[in-house]
Structure 1
Amino acid sequence: MQRYQRKIVIASSCLLLGMLAACKKLVTVPDPINTISTGQVFSSEKQANSAMAGVYTRMINGENTGDASGAGLTSFAAGLSTVLGSLSSDELYNYRGTAEQSYYGLTTNKLTIYNSDQPWTMWESAYIAIYGANSVIEGIADSKSSMLKDSVRKALTGEAKFVRAFSYFYLVNFFGDVPLAMTVDFNQTAHLPRTPQQQVYQQILQDLKDAAASMPAAYPTTNGERTRPNSFAATALLARVYLYLGDYANAAAAATTVINNPADYTLENDLNKVFLKGSREAIWQLQQSLQDMYLKDGTPEGFAMIPAVLKVGMARFCLTPSLLSAFERGDQRLEKWTDSTDNSMGTANQPGVTRYPLKYKVGSPNSSFGMPPAEYYMVLRLAEMYLVRAEAAANGGPGGNAAAIADLNTIRSRAGLPALPATLSKEQVLAAVAKERQTELFAEWGHRWFDLKRTKRMHDVLSAVPLKQPWLGDFQALYPIPVPEITVNHFLTQNPGY
């Protein structure tokens, strides 16, 4: 992290002053400072909220808000997690193949320390979010201002801990053991070693528990939009983390807490409404910049996925045959959440009609500058909670197979599919859970990649994918640690196999 530490300190200072959009890369950087927390920055509720809002702005728009259209491929929280996880698994492939080496290594599962620029960008952007969260936590703790009410201190500290936990969740699932930075103090973080994955998970759990207890149930935005997390967002992420750790009782309980709040969260019957900014299914969304002349009113991920010309433009990331074959006949998710294009138009590649993700409908060919956005970037949504609870129940959680099947049928019904029979065995239910997660959560936040790894199916599934032959080894379950980080911090070690 030392490579970025000095830059992060200065960038965070701009963030905390509420001037993120104007914060430029500096040619000269002053000596490291122990803390960026000042009484001036956190002297009022407005300033403290501005600091927290700046963290979210950077997550969705990247380091340069004037180039937010590229954030879908440069920020872990704007689309990069989706792209990397989908390419590494069996969901997407890059149509240009060897012409884009940075994605070809992911598509073929042949990453090396020389072709892993995209994973390194994932690392950097996640740690930038963590430093932003830590700066808010420390700034609020250091502030003596009487204008910063205790209720606001508590809620914003909870939000910052939530962001820290969220960011570490992705780091630990892409890279394994990672440095656990709990402060912005350069002297403490410059030479951190890698922290064991289970220890990082324990910190994630603690942060999420604190966040769920500290944040209000109401969203902190004045217009009621879900662009900043609330206590239910923390509970939803807790449900996912408990599931990953095999704590099925707590996973089911947390998911149920969210599901049993229909006044705020319900599944959208119309699949075309799921990813809209007013979606009742949304638990947390990020609001993209409207100042980018290329992004316009679209989302960074929509900009990355949708061809520049509909139907005949090149789709950069295409659905794999294995994903397409996972959809049952009549599955409306294939109809509503994907589209096709003739990739041969405007390229030197052979003719070929392919399908691409279309969960977000607004991209470069149909976006409008200066218009209110129809979509925000979906981070957490209710459908996942049904799938978490179903998997937990099938693994011995409350309700057993019957409860699992009921939750799966809720998701299947929305997709226009017939109900599963009540006679399924545990093994059949778990297979049904895996299939529904594959077809419901495809091209979202790396879910499929993480699912294959945590359920020990990565080798069997991916080693049989033609594009990934020859299979180099299961070490590919983790991305390489960025070499520049190891170069400046001799306490860091590389993941085996790289």
Structure 2
Amino acid sequence: MQRFQQNIVIVSGFLLLGMLCACKKLVTIPDPINTISTGQVFSSEKQANSAMVGVYSKMINGSDYLSIGSVGQRSFAAGLSTILGGLSSDELFSYYGTDQQSYYGVNINKLTIYNSDRPWEIWYSAYDAIYGANSVIEGIADSRSVTLKDSVRKALTGEAKFVRAFSYFYLVNFFGDVPLALTVDFNKTAHLSRAPQSEVYQQILQDLKDAAAGLPAAYPTATGERTRPNKYAALALLARVYLYTDDYNNAAATATMVIDNVADYTLETDLDNVFRTNSKEAIWQLQQALTDFTIKDGTPEGFVMQPNTLKIGLAAYCLTPSMLATFEPGDQRLPKWVDSTDNSLGTGTSTGVTYFPAKYKIGKANGTPGMPPREYYMALRLAEVYLIRAEAAANGAAGGTATAIADLNIIRNRAGVPALPASLNKEQTLAAVAKERKTELFAEWGHRWFDLKRTKQMHDVLSAIPLKQPWIGDFQALYPLPVPEINTNHFLIQNTGY
């Protein structure tokens, strides 16, 4: 947590950054000042609110050491989780192959401590977000301002705990046991050892329960956009974590709370609208900055995934043949969410038609500087919640396989593929869940990589892929910890195999 530790001595600086980076569309930001104490930051609703918005801004737009154009490949919350999870699993391959060593080791599942700079960015960016969340939690708790209303304190603390839980979810799934930093106090975090995954999950669960209790049901933005988490965002993530920890009854019950809120959430009937700013399927989205002429009005992930020139440019991260073969005949997710490019037309090389994720339509080639965004970065959406309930029900939660099949058919009907028969047994239903998660959630936040690991399918699926031969060991299910962190904190022990 070297970068995390460095941040601890500049708490005031980060919170000022939060106010300077916060998007004016969401809140009214106080005029910038040169120095500010933590007490001043949390002395009013406007200032405390802008500090929280600064945390989101850093997650999606990156830190001052990153350009906005590169943040999709450098931040866990801007596209890196999708890229690395896709390359590690059977979803994506890197077009540049050995010419792009930062990703090739991930793609062939042969990471070492010498080629893990991109996986380490997951660690650094997630701990940056955790630091920001801890700053807000402690700043609000320490504030004695009478102008900071209890309702605001409760809601912002809930948002910060949600972000902390969200960030730890990705850390624990990429790295396993990780240090559990719950304060910005350097004396308490400088020499933390790794907490067991079970302990980290318990903290995630507690943070999400607290967030669900403290957050309002309505979204806190003036426009009603879903770029700040509400109670249902906390419940959706809580349902996911219950599923990952095999608590199927709570996973199903919590997912149902979200699904039953039909006034706010419905599946988009048109797949082209799912990832747009006004999507009724969205539960939580991150709002990108609109101040960069490189990324224009697109999302960082859309910028990274799309070729420079549509139809003839190079797509850096391409869908594997096995991923493409997963789509059934007539599945509208294939033509709607996948695009292709013949890079031979642009480069003069031999024919090279490749397919790339196109859930985000705005990228390098078609973005428009200064335009209102047409897409935000989707972090949580309703389709996943249906799939959570389906898997939980198939594993014995309320409704059993009948509920699971019904939920799967809701997703399949939207995609234009035939309904599954009601006669499926448990094993067949679980296989259908896995297949539907692969086709619905492909190239989103590493879902496929995490699914293969938690369902113990990783070895059988990945060790048979030619690109990943020879298979050097299942220890590659976890990424290596950053060596600079271990050199700084000798209480950290490297993952086995590295």
Provide the TM-score with structure 1 as the length reference: 0.95
Which residue of 2 is the match for residue 239 of structure 1?
239
Which residue of 2 is the match for residue 255 of structure 1?
255
Letter of the 1:277 partner, please give it. T
Q: Is structure 2 residue 153 aligned with structure 1 residue 153?
A: yes
How big is the shift at 1:347? 4.5
Change (3 A) 1:66 1:107: closer
Secondary structure of 2:341's aligned partner: strand
Q: Given that residues 11 and 38 in structure 2 are in contact (C-alpha distance below 8 angstroms), is that contact kept between their aligned partners in structure 1?
A: no
Q: Is structure 2 residue 479 aligned with structure 1 residue 479?
A: yes
How big is the shift at 1:38? 2.2
Which residue of 2 is the match for residue 71 of structure 1?
71
How far, CA to CA, are the matches of 1:439 and 1:41 in structure 2? 45
Which residue of 2 is the match for residue 311 of structure 1?
311
Change (3 A) 1:493 1:20: farther
Which residue of 1 is the match for residue 218 of structure 2?
218
How far, CA to CA, are the matches of 1:299 and 1:88 in structure 2? 23
Letter of the 1:245 partner, please give it. T
Which residue of 2 is the match for residue 170 of structure 1?
170
How far, CA to CA, are the matches of 1:236 and 1:281 in structure 2? 12
How far, CA to CA, are the matches of 1:447 and 1:397 in structure 2? 22
Which residue of 2 is the match for residue 407 of structure 1?
407
Letter of the 2:438 partner, please give it. Q
Q: Given that residues 61 and 289 in structure 1 are in contact (C-alpha distance below 8 angstroms), is that contact kept between their aligned partners in structure 2?
A: yes
How far, CA to CA, are the matches of 1:446 and 1:119 in structure 2? 12
Which residue of 2 is the match for residue 134 of structure 1?
134
1:416-431 residue pairs with structure 2 within 5 A? Answer: 416-431=416-431
Q: Given that residues 21 and 66 in structure 1 are in contact (C-alpha distance below 8 angstroms), is that contact kept between their aligned partners in structure 2?
A: no
Which whole-Å deviations, capped at 9, do the CAs of 1:329-366 have from their partners, x for residues lacking one?
11000110000001334458642101000000000100
Q: Given that residues 52 and 136 in structure 2 are in contact (C-alpha distance below 8 angstroms), is that contact kept between their aligned partners in structure 1?
A: yes
Which residue of 2 is the match for residue 90 of structure 1?
90
1:83-482 residue pairs with structure 2 within 5 A? Answer: 83-347=83-347, 350-482=350-482
How far, CA to CA, are the matches of 1:95 and 1:141 in structure 2? 49
Q: Given that residues 8 and 185 in structure 2 are in contact (C-alpha distance below 8 angstroms), is that contact kept between their aligned partners in structure 1?
A: no
Letter of the 2:477 partner, please give it. A
Q: Given that residues 219 and 230 in structure 1 are in contact (C-alpha distance below 8 angstroms), is that contact kept between their aligned partners in structure 2?
A: yes
Which whole-Å deviations, capped at 9, do the CAs of 1:462-495 have from their partners, x for residues lacking one?
0001110000100000000000000010000000
How far, CA to CA, are the matches of 1:62 and 1:18 in structure 2? 12
Q: Is structure 2 residue 59 aligned with structure 1 residue 59?
A: yes
Letter of the 1:262 partner, please give it. V
Which whole-Å deviations, capped at 9, do the CAs of 1:60-103 have from their partners, x for residues lacking one?
00103982221110110010100010000000000010000011
Change (3 A) 1:164 1:349: farther
Q: Given that residues 318 and 355 in structure 1 are in contact (C-alpha distance below 8 angstroms), is that contact kept between their aligned partners in structure 2?
A: yes
For structure 2, list consecutive stretches of 5 or more residues without a partner in the other structure.
23-35
Q: Given that residues 66 and 292 in structure 1 are in contact (C-alpha distance below 8 angstroms), is that contact kept between their aligned partners in structure 2?
A: no
Which whole-Å deviations, capped at 9, do the CAs of 1:252-309 have from their partners, x for residues lacking one?
0110000000100000000000000000000000000000110110000000000000
Which whole-Å deviations, capped at 9, do the CAs of 1:403-433 have from their partners, x for residues lacking one?
0000000000000001000111111100000
Secondary structure of 1:39's aligned partner: helix
Q: Given that residues 18 and 55 in structure 2 are in contact (C-alpha distance below 8 angstroms), is that contact kept between their aligned partners in structure 1?
A: no
Letter of the 1:237 partner, please give it. L
Which residue of 2 is the match for residue 33 of structure 1?
none
How far, CA to CA, are the matches of 1:9 and 1:348 in structure 2? 53
Q: Given that residues 177 and 194 in structure 1 are in contact (C-alpha distance below 8 angstroms), is that contact kept between their aligned partners in structure 2?
A: yes
How far, CA to CA, are the matches of 2:46 and 2:268 in structure 1? 34
Secondary structure of 1:133's aligned partner: helix
Which residue of 1 is the match for residue 25 of structure 2?
none
Q: Given that residues 84 and 119 in structure 2 are in contact (C-alpha distance below 8 angstroms), is that contact kept between their aligned partners in structure 1?
A: yes
Secondary structure of 1:40's aligned partner: helix
Letter of the 1:291 partner, please give it. T
Change (3 A) 1:87 1:370: same
Q: Given that residues 19 and 50 in structure 2 are in contact (C-alpha distance below 8 angstroms), is that contact kept between their aligned partners in structure 1?
A: no
Letter of the 1:118 partner, please give it. R
- Aligned residue-pair number: 485
How big is the shift at 1:21? 3.9
Q: Given that residues 58 and 65 in structure 1 are in contact (C-alpha distance below 8 angstroms), is that contact kept between their aligned partners in structure 2?
A: no
Provide the TM-score with structure 2 as the length reference: 0.95
Secondary structure of 2:423's aligned partner: coil
Secondary structure of 2:40's aligned partner: coil
How big is the shift at 1:20? 4.1
How far, CA to CA, are the matches of 1:359 and 1:39 in structure 2? 43
Letter of the 2:432 partner, please give it. A
How far, CA to CA, are the matches of 1:101 and 1:12 in structure 2? 37
Q: Given that residues 21 and 64 in structure 1 are in contact (C-alpha distance below 8 angstroms), is that contact kept between their aligned partners in structure 2?
A: no
CA RMSD of aligned residues (A): 1.5
